[in-house]
Structure 1
Amino acid sequence: MTGATLPALDITDELVDAASKSKAWPFEEARKLIKRYEKSGFPQTVLFETGYGPSGLPHIGTFGEVARTTMVRTAFRLLTADKVVTRLLCFSDDMDGMRKIPDSVPDRAALEPYLHQPLTAVPNPFGGDHESFGHHNNAMLRRFLDTFGFDYEFASATDYYKSGKFDDVLMLAAERYDDIMKVMLPTLGEERRETYSPFLPISPKSGRVLYVPMLNVDAREGTITFEDEDGTETTIPVTGGHCKLQWKPDFGARWAALGVDFEMFGKDHGPNMAVYDRICSVLGGRPPEHFVYELFLDDQGQKISKSKGNGLTIDEWLAYAPTESLAYYMFLKPRTAKRLHFDVIPRAVDEYFQQLDALGRSDPGQRLQNPVWHIHSGNPPASGIPLSFSMLLNLVSASNAHDKETLWGFISNYDGELSPDNHPKLDELVGYAIRYFEDFVKPAKSFRAPSTQERAALEDLDRRLAALDEAADAETIQTEIFSVGKEHGYENLREWFKTLYQVLLGQDQGPRFGSFVALYGIDASRRLIASALDGKLQAG
């Protein structure tokens, strides 16, 4: 399944030269792939792969892996002047047994009879048209990847095992069973060694994925013999989906079977990377180039987990911000652990648009350092937005706007040339800002009464605003605000602005206040000050 066609790249000698020198991490990873084939020449296709464990609902970390791999793929395409065929395979390990029931599913008790069955054999707890829990979660991942426009092919472990695509490597694994065991046994505890097998048979009787020792491995016949759950000695083929491989051998076997050239994974896989590589080599493959990224954390600093459902889901981020902001967050410092919670969204939105504005003023070298170039696969949009997301949030806060029409009334008064029709991206952000404010900003707002000194300063600010023309620009207003702060004894003007935020907006931080007043309107800002002095903001 393909989500989109591969976008065209703007390729010039100058840009290719800049790419060869760029220190942006996708180019550094792409250069490893070029070095990989500098002696032998490139194969017919260079294969990028990402893995997905559909044991729970897809989370943003899953999307991040595909987004980041796409960035490396784009960098590789530019460095090779797009003369090498590339593919991105998104592989779902949906034949894994359901070892525990995720906290995020409804009616958990209904799934208990299906514990340890392959995820594609577990009934779909969410209802709908998808035939299993695994199919449902796969569909959720594909839906988002398609929405974002990724060029990819989706692969299901269940399909690959059952269709015979892995039969050759499974037969080879039976033939080289002892060699695989030599790789695996030193990595296991003493008790685990006694029962370990790289093959996981699927019980013909219970349908469960079994973690049992092998009584016999017949390489010639391509069969394994084991004791089933009821004590019967059972022999099944290693091919045709009758068994699967343990997750560490499965990694290496998949790389060998498919000829994977590049795969990134989280830090939790880092200690096993050498094992994956050795299994791949035992099975006749060449280990791919790797990139190990840091894990995402929730608001408590804990690793996000699909089964726990902590952190953010894809849909939750997209309820409050555009997809570009999510991709921007994925680009930043992938080797550094980052919190993935609702409070990171506004900054990610604003920084994305700041980078988009900067892109048009950049030379080729700077363009390739800019996250926006990588986010949009070398084809960024032409322009940004005239108002920041944080400014829109503060406008919602001050105006108590509950709908886009009210907020657009203030925006149109500020600049009559702005409208939802000629600035659809701004209109999109207006909707996000209202939703984000209602759910996260409003519940945390806490207005305080001004002190005697602050009251005098606010009264002075009100008089100065009254003397200005209603159409005064942001710089003129900002100058007056600075003057009031200085004249009322604020040696550190940050404290003066903190006062404005706390007393007028009910928060510790806020926008450039002159710009906010220009947008909100001088008369409306004076009414806001009057409400604060009368104690109405605290009461409301």
Structure 2
Amino acid sequence: MRNERATVDSGIRAAATISKAWPYEEARKIIKRWPDGKTAKNGTAEPILFETGYGPSGLPHIGTFNEVLRTTMVRRAYEELTGNSTRLIAFSDDMDGLRKVPDNIPNPDLLAANLGKPLSRIPDPFGTHDSFAAHNNATLRSFLDRFGFDYEFVSSTDVYMAGGFDDALKQVLRHWDEILGVMLPTLRDERRLTYSPVLPVSPTTGRVLQVPVTVVDANAGTIAFTDEDGTPVTQSALGGKSKLQWKVDWAMRWVALGVDYEMAGKDLIDSTIQSGKIARILGARPPEGFSYEMFLDEKGEKISKSKGNGLTLDQWLDYGSEESLAFFAYREPRKAKSLHIGVIPRAVDDYLQFRGNYHAQPIEQQLGNPVHHIHGGKVPDSVLPLTYGLLLNLASLPGVGDKATAWKFVQRYAPGTAPDTDPELDTLIGLAVNYARDFVAPTLQRREPTDTERAALTELDAELAKLAPDTPGDIIQNLVFEIGKHHDFESLRHWFQALYETLLGSSQGPRMGSFIALYGVENTRKLIAEALSLADA
């Protein structure tokens, strides 16, 4: 995913200018914003600034990764279209106060004792970092680094404490009434009573307070409020002694950092609207961006950091490739998608299929192919001899539950391949073995064939006995088709379903010709014999 800028062919640039692929459509918004490129007040060129935000109140999940990935795709598309320089900031709102204890965190009592304090000032329940935020920030950076993202990590706490937001914070104090005019109509009556754009940090407890605040001196950055123990306090709002309320903070960040593009989930549409209004009050133009739909779990519920109901990056990568995850994230960003273990096999094979088609496509189709955006235009031209689905069926069979054994079947099917010379295939086999072991093999249950199926299986066995061991899969597939036509099946689909259910123990399965060629004619005949023995029992 590394953002390696290079000279873009004029033909590619021309095609990208009219491409309907969503990263190019998003990039054209930025071009419209800065037709001649972004310039500073002194006239010098500046890079376009992309931003992604993360709240480290829980462990980062694939949804977090997804936002960085999609933003990177828009960033690349913009560079292809313009050749202009860009930057990407991964911003952590670690100055936020912890509101509730996540469900998937150890030592919950430690967090409960520190509710309300900035995430960066709460002890790490994992015991590995200086704070809870530091632990979650490190986790975020680790998986962004694993994918080779080109980004600059920025901690909200660091910027607040160093005074980097002080000027913008003073602007918030100067425009206090205007900002309240935006926010108060959006709040419930009881919330309006205590709402303040600025959240002071208590000088006694260290908690981020949700209390009414009075501006004492906007130019000096001084505010007044009542502390938790009822003591009146007048103190500076600068230098980390306060932080801004979420929607105001988002707007202030856009203004202070000069953000040009930031996407957000559909659940933040209202926040985007209000923050945009506040950014204009502060004298700046809100960034470009779009609202993407959320990932859902198997129950159709939104994935949440605090619930821990989403897949982790490591869970996906135990069973699927990095590219397959990027492929899943790329497609249909405005459509809600279920994200769970069961989607991985399809994502892997769809990615490989789109990659296999890429190099034969005209440029217009290439630019709309997800793999162009996954690989930044540098798409591998290698083609694997097997699909992930086919390997799953192989690895799910008794006696083939380990990588070394699976390789023996693969090498007979695809002579000349080997783990050391075909590392991508080796990885794919290992992933399929993992998935088959954990999710497929435990669920398989072969059923007894019906009389019609028994007759067809008997004929298939007789015909397979006539074949050479190295008969190609296409020939075997035609043979299977013809046998199905000889028997009284409602349709050929029912014949193949019978093969899956009686031989493999599953309602779905691979292209049978390819499977038999991979598993071996004699081994397949043994499966048939076992199925027929069930009918005889």
Short-chain TM bin: over 0.9
Structure 2 Cα separation of the partners of residues 454 and 40 of structure 1: 68
Cα distance 1:515–1:40, how it changes in 2: closer, same or farther (>3 A)? Answer: closer
Is 1:18 the counterpart of 2:24? The answer is: no
Where do 1:76-155 residues align within 5 Å? 76-80=78-82, 82=83, 84-128=84-128, 130-155=129-154
Structure 1 Cα separation of the partners of residues 519 and 404 of structure 2: 14
Deviation at 1:6, TM superposition (A): 3.0
Deviation at 1:221, TM superposition (A): 2.4
Deviation at 1:217, TM superposition (A): 3.5
Structure 1 Cα separation of the partners of residues 298 and 16 of structure 2: 36
Deviation at 1:40, TM superposition (A): 7.6
Deviation at 1:267, TM superposition (A): 0.3
Q: Which amino acid aligns with 2:55?
A: G
Q: Which amino acid aligns with 1:38?
A: P
Structure 2 Cα separation of the partners of residues 213 and 406 of structure 1: 68
Deviation at 1:431, TM superposition (A): 0.8
Deviation string for 1:174-210 (max 9, x for gaps)?
A: 1111111111111112221121100011111111111
Question: Which deviates further from its counterpart, 287-296 or 451-460?
Answer: 451-460
Is 1:27 the counterpart of 2:29? The answer is: no
Deviation string for 1:59-101 (max 9, x for gaps)?
A: 1110000000000000000000x2x110000001111111000
Note if contact 2:169-2:238 (Cα within 8 Å) is conserved in structure 1: yes
Instruction: Report the counterpart of residue 58 of structure 1 in structure 2.
Output: 60
Structure 2 Cα separation of the partners of residues 465 and 527 of structure 1: 11
Is 1:247 the counterpart of 2:246? The answer is: yes
Deviation at 1:32, TM superposition (A): 0.6
Instruction: Report the counterpart of residue 272 of structure 1 in structure 2.
Output: 271
Deviation at 1:41, TM superposition (A): 5.6
Note if contact 1:326-1:348 (Cα within 8 Å) is conserved in structure 2: yes
Deviation at 1:528, TM superposition (A): 1.3
Structure 1 Cα separation of the partners of residues 189 and 14 of structure 2: 54
Note if contact 1:10-1:378 (Cα within 8 Å) is conserved in structure 2: no
Is 1:49 the counterpart of 2:51? The answer is: yes
Deviation at 1:272, TM superposition (A): 2.2
Deviation at 1:525, TM superposition (A): 0.7
Structure 2 Cα separation of the partners of residues 157 and 207 of structure 1: 16
Structure 2 Cα separation of the partners of residues 495 and 444 of structure 1: 21
Q: Which amino acid aligns with 1:32?
A: K
Note if contact 2:452-2:489 (Cα within 8 Å) is conserved in structure 1: no
Note if contact 2:396-2:437 (Cα within 8 Å) is conserved in structure 1: no
The ranges of structure 1 where at least 4 consecutive aligned residues each deviate by more than 3 angstroms after the TM superposition are 39-43
Is 1:68 the counterpart of 2:70? The answer is: yes
Q: Which amino acid aligns with 1:170?
A: L
Deviation at 1:458, TM superposition (A): 0.9
Structure 2 Cα separation of the partners of residues 496 and 127 of structure 1: 58
Where do 1:432-511 residues align within 5 Å? 432-511=431-510
Tell me the SS of whatever aligns to 2:290.
strand
Tell me the SS of whatever aligns to 1:437.
helix
Note if contact 2:117-2:206 (Cα within 8 Å) is conserved in structure 1: yes
Note if contact 2:103-2:308 (Cα within 8 Å) is conserved in structure 1: yes
Deviation at 1:399, TM superposition (A): 4.7
Deviation at 1:279, TM superposition (A): 0.8
Deviation at 1:303, TM superposition (A): 0.5
Instruction: Report the counterpart of residue 213 of structure 1 in structure 2.
Output: 212
Structure 1 Cα separation of the partners of residues 71 and 51 of structure 2: 8
Structure 1 Cα separation of the partners of residues 216 and 438 of structure 2: 58
Tell me the SS of whatever aligns to 2:193.
helix
Instruction: Report the counterpart of residue 234 of structure 1 in structure 2.
Output: 233
Deviation at 1:404, TM superposition (A): 1.1
Cα distance 1:40–1:297, how it changes in 2: closer, same or farther (>3 A)? Answer: closer
Q: Percent identity?
A: 53
Structure 2 Cα separation of the partners of residues 5 and 486 of structure 1: 52
Deviation at 1:19, TM superposition (A): 0.3
Where do 1:261-300 residues align within 5 Å? 261-300=260-299
Instruction: Report the counterpart of residue 42 of structure 2 in structure 1.
Output: none
Deviation string for 1:204-256 (max 9, x for gaps)?
A: 11111110001444213211111000110112211100000000101111001
Deviation at 1:402, TM superposition (A): 2.6
Deviation at 1:510, TM superposition (A): 0.8
Q: Which amino acid aligns with 1:28?
A: E
Note if contact 1:216-1:226 (Cα within 8 Å) is conserved in structure 2: no
Instruction: Report the counterpart of residue 309 of structure 2 in structure 1.
Output: 310
Note if contact 2:194-2:212 (Cα within 8 Å) is conserved in structure 1: yes
Where do 1:163-202 residues align within 5 Å? 163-202=162-201
Q: Which runs of 5+ in 1 are unaligned?
A: none
CA RMSD of aligned residues (A): 1.6
Normalising by the residue count of structure 1, what TM-score does the alignment of the two structures yield?
0.96
Deviation at 1:9, TM superposition (A): 3.4
Deviation at 1:395, TM superposition (A): 0.7
Structure 2 Cα separation of the partners of residues 143 and 272 of structure 1: 29
